[in-house]
């Protein structure tokens, strides 16, 4: 197994997420709706590739909050979830004014990695982009120079991940 390095300079094993296209998992999706605004686009009105990354993070943070754990609570304890692996496949352009639905899933843990899968759904219902993201839990409570990978997740994060993997509850009227 080869080692890669994250932006946090923590050695992490390479995984299939960044090496190959993975099969799309079945199951429940956490949804976030956004509109492509001028600040998300290039001069041609096409959604800029960097905007996808911000929306991926927003989708994960919002899903985590819906599962009962605010990311700010983790951060206040010196815990962070940096991205250590990313694959983003573009299939069709998203344009200024388009309504977009991000459908995200928290996948089962793979060693230290917490994988996520997200679909960017275009207004016509087609998959405009597909992303595979891997996170790890890092403890920064000792300061940036003493950061360390966390092997055992805190109970509240473990519980939130269990909820995330099950998917969101049905809307109140459908329970």
Please list the active-site residues.
Answer: 42
Pairing of strands 138-139, 79-80: antiparallel
Sorted by sequence, the CB contacts under 8 Å of residue 163 that are 6+ apart come out as 67, 68
Beta carbons of 100 and 116 less than 8 angstroms apart: no
Strands 3-5 and 127-135: unpaired
| Alpha-helical runs (H) found in the chain | 16-19, 49-66, 71-76, 155-166
Residues 6+ apart with CB under 8 A from 80: 74, 137, 138, 140
With beta carbons less than 8 A apart as the criterion, state whether 156 and 72 touch. Answer: no
* Separation between Cα atoms, residue 132 and residue 30, nearest integer Å: 15
């Amino acid at each position: 197994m080869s080692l890669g390095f994250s932006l946090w300079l923590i050695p992490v094993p390479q995984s299939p997420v960044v090496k190959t296209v993975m099969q799309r998992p079945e199951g429940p999706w956490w949804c976030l709706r956004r509109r492509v605004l001028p600040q998300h686009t290039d001069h041609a009105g096409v959604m800029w590739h960097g905007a996808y990354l911000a929306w991926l993070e927003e989708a994960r943070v919002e899903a985590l909050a819906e599962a009962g754990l605010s990311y700010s609570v983790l951060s206040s304890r010196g815990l962070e979830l940096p991205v250590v692996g990313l694959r983003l496949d573009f299939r069709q352009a998203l344009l200024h004014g388009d309504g977009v639905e991000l459908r995200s899933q928290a996948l089962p843990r793979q060693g230290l990695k917490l994988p996520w899968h997200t679909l960017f759904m275009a207004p016509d219902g087609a998959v405009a982009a597909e992303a595979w993201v891997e996170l790890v839990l890092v403890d920064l409570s000792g300061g940036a120079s003493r950061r360390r990978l966390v092997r055992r997740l805190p109970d509240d994060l473990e519980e939130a991940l269990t909820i995330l993997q099950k998917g969101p509850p049905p809307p109140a009227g459908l329970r």
